[in-house]
Structure 1
Amino acid sequence: MAEVHSSSVVAPEAVLADTVKIGPFCVVGPSVELGEDVVLHSHVVVEGRTSIGARTQIFPFASIGHQPQDLKFGGEESTVSIGSDNIIREHVTINPGTKGGHMKTVVGNGCMLMVGAHVAHDCILGDHVILVNNATLGGHVVIGENTIVGGLAAIHQFVRVGRDAMIGGMSGVENDVIPYGMVTGERASLNGLNLIGMKRRGHERSAIVELQDAYKKLFSETGNFADRLDEFNADESDSAPVRDVLTFIQGESSRGLLHPKKK
């Protein structure tokens, strides 16, 4: 049987794996599912149609699954899906999807959401994403795997952030960020590539060099970006990172692409 502190309130309809541990003063709603070895440390609220995968830990005063901060929300049966092996720290908020979006909010596996991070309705987070303290995602944001969003950074609604990107602290991100991109600034701009992250994740030097060359050509200040993009063919590149960037740029977007500041 799950281990539930006597001061916690768990709806009888909630589905709890036998190895779940729920500390004091938690509230778990009737449509919640908690997987193997999930831990709610204390003062955690999990409501709505929320599923949480194995070995995820949630720390005090986190609020998961309550209705989104969207005036258009009409009580639709949307969901929150949180994968396995995540760490969700104090005061994190995660809201479910809406009928204006995916009807779901998704957090992948192995993510770390630090103190005060906010994941709004219809956001999709890949695996191993890190949101540093008080990072804020507007609705409908998509974050690729292995991306780090710095403390106090804010990402505008509908922005896409590619895999392995790095968003600097206190950055306001209003446009899409290419995979492996490095972003900084109060009104953020693209500021090169996340080379340290690429090296840490074992990318071959040849692939990194090819991506650097492609970046310089794509974001050159001469000519037209669309014309420069036409010179590349993702299928012909030997570098997986280059293919990732080109495929991302050619994907559907409602916010446009973040570029470097003009010198």
Structure 2
Amino acid sequence: MKLVQKLPVALAVACVMMMSSCSKEDVQTPEPKVESVNVHSSLRGAGGVIALPQFPSTFGATGVDIYPTSWERAIYPGNASWPGTPSVAAFPTGVSNRTHAFGIAHQWVKPLPAIPSAPGANSFVTFVTNSSEFDVAKRADVEAKIKHLVVGQKYSIEFYVATTSIGVSGSGYAKRIIAQVAYPNYFVDINLTGKKAEWVKASFVFKARYQEETFSVAAASENNTFAYAHIFVDQNSIKKVR
């Protein structure tokens, strides 16, 4: 697939430099009743060990195309990450820290504050967009596998999102992030307008169709600028809902 609109020249140069140098308003959802997870016997492993539901955390080493366990770049037809598109290098994804894109590339104009649920954490998954309308050809998404689910069971998941800018010509901030499981059935649309370099907590409830589901996130920017978006998940972000 070909990108329908190229990035500004200055921004494209900045993206290439970065690649070469790298190795909501609060979303208000009803508070579901949650309880400790009682896993179905079919999810018991060898020796009777119970496999608890897992919404993988975003802790990990920083870098472009480096991801925590069970996270990866989302690749599908038409998306900027689809193999062979000329935009792949211009739409990097990976793990960043609170001061720099992908750990050692461009410095954020405004550093991110400590993450509320994990003040000592300093890594999270980064994805980018160059579209204010969620155009699939102008963004790179990331996704994770939520594992060890009980089919038919409802779960709540929570996480934090944020947006930052590197301040080069043509760059800006994300205005919205959509997070989803089996879209359009289960998703949340997070408004980041006015939330520059701030962590915004979000959550939603979904019913498992399979023992493993795909969670994905995508962003839209302000005025089609190139924007960085981030998601943070800790080790205790999934709960069973009655």
Identify the TM-score tier after normalising by the shorter chain.
under 0.3
Q: Report which of the two structures shows the higher radius of gyration computed on alpha carbons.
A: 1
- Which has a greater percent of strand? 2
Normalised to the residue count of structure 2, the TM-score between the two structures is 0.25
Normalised to the residue count of structure 1, the TM-score between the two structures is 0.23
